[in-house]
Amino acid sequence: MDALDPRIAIPIVYFIYKKYEPSSPRSAFFLLLALPGVLVVALRVCERFNSYATAVPTVYLAYWSLLSTFVVAYRISPFHPLARYPGPLLCKISKGWLAYVAGKGGKAHLYVQDLHMRYGEVVRIGPNELSITHQDFTRVVLGAKGLPRGPYYDSRQHEAGMSLDGMRDQALHAIRRRPWARGMNTAAMKYYEELIRNTLSDLIVGLKQRTNRPIDISEWTNYFGFDFMGQMAFTRDYGMLKNGYDKEGLLDLIEHAMQDSAWISHIPWSIPFLRYVPGASKYWDQMKAVGERAVADRVALGSNHRDLFHYLMDEDGHEAVRPTKALVAVDGQLAIIAGGDTTATTLSHIVYFLLRYPIYLDRLRKEIDETFPDGADSTLDFTKQTNMPFLNACINEALRLYPPVLAGLQRRVEPGTGGKMIGPYFVPEETQVSLFAYSIHRDPQHFSPLTNTFWPDRWLSQEKYTLPSGDVISADEVVTNRDVFIPFSQGPMVCAGKNVALTEMRSVMCALLQHFDLKIADQSFLDSWEDKIEETFTTKRGTLPVILSLRA
């Protein structure tokens, strides 16, 4: 009976959770429900209680309370491996607090940014997690010998397998990435460039039909991004640009799915339990159906198109084992969500900043007109676009202030490694390290002056710089740390579609500004744009109504 003494049983259960972190519903049932039930029976047999009516609530309440007390006491104690690092008490106690912040209003990026402003470049944002802005993270965390992904990415698990962006094993990730690399090489890009031209033509035609009246340019960048990615990934035409709306409801579906992912990713242990909650996976189930339908239609279409599906299915026979269609559906779904949404988000931010600061709109249009003096039809020279300094500066500055993925790129210091040094900071084993691009890009140590202001000039190589105020400063006074610029991540797990996304952004901005004059339809939407931005793993945006008029 000694083993069933609560004074022995509860510390043992605490040790099991601390050491092994069991998260399956079966283990939770046994450790949190069945075991205290056994204690009830044992104590009743020992006549510690007069009746089960008294024993059940007393034992269960005491059991859970003591177990919680042990957990909290250790996490906030000076004996915890991360005790030296500052952070809010609620973050030290449970990652559930950050999940709450993420789910409540989509402002986790602002919350973590505020923590860094209060505590410095290392902040404890979870019981076993740090957010770090020190510049050495690029080498130690994201570099060639960097850290593997952390449990934040476990929400990318599907029945068919893990999507590419969720793979935590670096060796397996490298193997899985090979078809993506072939699908993004120079030869593949030639085909994608033709798709960009066709999709851009649909965009311009659609916008010309709606000149001189308010339209939501943010919504139309969505139409462009998802129409192109549908064609690129599966040779599937969603027809958003031609129809002027999303007839399949794909955008709304993705928004709801991403909102769920935003908070679940912070507490991935909850995923097995959510499967037992009716309707909890409704949007992800619908997303799965979207991917499966796209694969089925692409298979029926045949293999005449060298789209991304062609490479992911290894139709050229490079790999020893071809992936299943179900797994390709998972990665194809990833391409459409990640590629379509991130491109649309950045394009929307660029338009917002150009409307907010018309001086930069005029400068960019001047560069476009000088680069393409023969008119709008000549703007589709992608090589020239790559070498347009101010265009690329505007894109980089929008990506700096609002990277498409605002939340942390989580990595993990694995057991047995002895820990890692990131700059002067020692990170113990079994600690998660999160890199919030939003915080890193707004750190004055990395980007100054005007750290929180849209100032594209910081990306140009000049001997002297003129600030918006008119003051002139030397190059020595400008800090632009390109090494910590991570809108697409860095290293072996850098975004596979980075070059495609940049090509899309350049081409859309060139065509848009050479075809149209833009003005904001309602100043209030411009004033509230940044307030309405929400972090939902991707980025949820508000409405940006503009009036377009054809240029002479």
What is the distance between the alpha carbons of residues 244 and 150, in angstroms, rounded to a whole number? 40
What is the distance between the alpha carbons of residues 301 and 305, in angstroms, rounded to a whole number? 9
The answer to whether the beta carbons of residues 456 and 391 sit under 8 Å apart is no
Tokens of 27: 């283990």
Q: Quick one: three-class SS letters along 427-469?
A: ECCCEEEEEEHHHHHCCCCCEECCCCCCCHHHHCCCCEEECCC
The answer to whether the beta carbons of residues 246 and 225 sit under 8 Å apart is no
In the chain, where the domains are located: 2-75, 169-446+481-550
Q: Is the alpha carbon torsion for 358, 391, 191, 253 positive or negative? A: negative
Half-sphere exposure of 139 (CA within 13 A, CB side): 7
The answer to whether the beta carbons of residues 124 and 85 sit under 8 Å apart is yes
- How far, CA to CA in Å, does 315 sit from each of 320, 322, 325, 330, 469? 12, 8, 12, 17, 57
The answer to whether the beta carbons of residues 341 and 225 sit under 8 Å apart is yes
For residue 174, give the nearest of 140, 144, 138, 151 by alpha carbon.
Answer: 144
Q: Are strands 479-480 and 516-520 parallel, antiparallel or unpaired?
A: unpaired
Tokens of 270: 């909850």
Please enumerate, by residue number, every residue annotated as part of a binding site for heme.
495
The answer to whether the beta carbons of residues 52 and 41 sit under 8 Å apart is no
Q: What is the pLDDT along the chain (552 residues), one digit of tens a residue?
A: 455 566 788 888 888 888 888 888 899 999 899 988 888 887 766 666 677 788 888 888 989 999 999 999 999 999 999 999 999 999 999 999 999 999 888 899 999 999 999 999 999 999 999 999 999 999 999 998 899 999 888 877 776 678 888 788 888 888 888 999 999 999 999 999 999 999 999 999 999 999 999 999 999 999 999 999 999 988 999 999 999 999 989 899 888 888 888 888 899 888 888 888 888 878 888 888 888 888 888 888 887 789 998 998 888 888 888 888 888 888 877 777 777 888 999 999 999 999 999 999 999 999 999 999 877 566 688 999 999 999 999 999 999 999 988 887 899 999 999 999 999 999 999 999 999 999 999 999 999 999 999 999 999 999 999 999 999 999 999 999 999 999 999 998 898 889 999 999 999 999 999 999 999 999 999 999 999 999 988 889 999 999 999 997
| Total-model pTM | 0.93
Tokens of 350: 């660029």
For 380-405, letters b (16+ CB in 10 Å) and e give: bebebbeebebbbbbbbbbbbbbbbb
What is the distance between the alpha carbons of residues 5 and 419, in angstroms, rounded to a whole number? 37
Q: Is the alpha carbon torsion for 40, 41, 46, 48 positive or negative? A: positive
The answer to whether the beta carbons of residues 407 and 111 sit under 8 Å apart is no
What is the distance between the alpha carbons of residues 71 and 59, in angstroms, rounded to a whole number? 18
With H, G, I as helix, E, B as strand and everything else as coil, classify residue 190: helix
Amino acid code (one letter) for 281: S
What DSSP assignment string belongs to 334-357? HHHHHHHHHHHHHHHHHHHHHHHS
With H, G, I as helix, E, B as strand and everything else as coil, classify residue 398: helix
Q: How many CB atoms lie within 10 A of CB 5?
A: 13
Give the model's pLDDT for residue 1: 45
Strand partners, 549: 517
Please enumerate, by residue number, every residue annotated as part of a binding site.
495
Tokens of 260: 């769920």
Provide the CATH topology of domain 169-446+481-550: Cytochrome p450 (1.10.630)
Q: Which residue stretches of 471-532 are H helix?
A: 498-515, 523-528
